């Protein structure tokens, strides 16, 4: 089954560059993915984490509601709008950059990402009907990431964040090792990134 729509109605694709800096390998990959989707006739929104101004610290947890800053409200609208999501981010200390994790903390709140139901053990996902894919860059070779370190962040991202909120078709594409890679190898990674759309 294809990730993108192949019928008359194009997909509404949100591409999120989850690197806190734009001029990076992840930024180039996100832009290449967005361009490729547009070339296939899809409707695309591209968001760079660097451009979002918000407090990444969920100061009071779920005890008190933190109002969304304008950039978070706009991103929430894009998440509601989209039916496909691609997140591109580097792996730092075995997980997402802090600002990206803070983005999940702030946006995917009860009432938006999911809803607690009285008398039920599991909450209701509120972003169902959408598909998601993830592109991860890493200095750690993929074999080490999966078989030595256990791939903890990817399990968490897929099961406890995206699937928890209702996203399906959760596939991940890895690009590593980035550190020490020659410019030609990095360019090939950028060109290969749209393969996540297949």
Residue in the block written with tokens 């194009």: 10
Gyration radius (Cα) of the chain, Å: 17
Burial of 34 (0-12, 13-18, 19+ CB in 10 A): buried
The pLDDT > 90 percentage for the chain reads: 86
Q: Which CATH superfamily groups domain 12-197?
A: Flavodoxin domain (3.40.50.360)
Which of 47-61, 70-84, 135-149, 181-195 has the lowest average pLDDT?
135-149
pLDDT value of residue 7: 76
Q: What pairing do the DSSP bridges indicate for beta strands 168-175 and 12-17?
A: unpaired
Q: Which pTM was predicted? A: 0.95
pLDDT of residue 158: 95
Domain layout of the chain by residue ranges: 12-197
When pLDDT is averaged across residues 118-140 and rounded to a whole number, the result is 96
**Can you tell me the mean pLDDT for 105-109?**
97
How open is the CA angle 28-70-81, to the nearest 5 degrees?
Answer: 65
Q: With 60 as the cut, is the pLDDT of residue 42 above it?
A: yes
How large a percentage of the chain has pLDDT more than 70? 99
Average pLDDT of span 156-162: 96
1 pLDDT band (50/70/90 cuts)?
low
Strands, sheet with 131-137, edge to edge from the N-terminal-most edge strand:
43-48, 12-17, 84-90, 131-137, 168-175
Give the mean pLDDT of the chain.
95
27 vs 48: CA distance, rounded Å: 7
């Amino acid at each position: 089954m294809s990730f993108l729509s192949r019928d008359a109605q194009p997909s509404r694709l949100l591409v999120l560059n989850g690197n806190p800096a734009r001029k990076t390998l992840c930024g180039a990959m996100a832009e290449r993915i967005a361009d490729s989707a547009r070339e296939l006739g899809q409707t695309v929104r591209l968001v760079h984490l660097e451009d979002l101004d918000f407090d990444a610290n969920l100061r009071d947890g779920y005890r008190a509601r933190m109002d969304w800053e304008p950039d978070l409200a706009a991103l929430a609208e894009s998440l509601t709008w989209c039916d496909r999501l691609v997140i591109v981010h580097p792996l730092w200390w075995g997980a997402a950059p802090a600002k990206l994790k803070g983005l999940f903390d702030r946006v995917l709140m009860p009432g938006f990402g999911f809803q607690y139901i009285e008398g039920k053990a599991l909450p209701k996902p509120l972003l169902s009907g959408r598909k998601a894919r993830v592109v991860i860059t890493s200095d750690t070779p993929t074999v080490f990431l999966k078989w030595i370190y256990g791939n903890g962040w990817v399990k968490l991202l897929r099961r406890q964040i995206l699937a928890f909120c209702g996203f399906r078709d959760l596939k991940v594409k890895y690009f590593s090792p980035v550190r020490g890679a020659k410019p030609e190898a990095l360019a090939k990674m950028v060109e290969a990134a749209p393969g996540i759309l297949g």
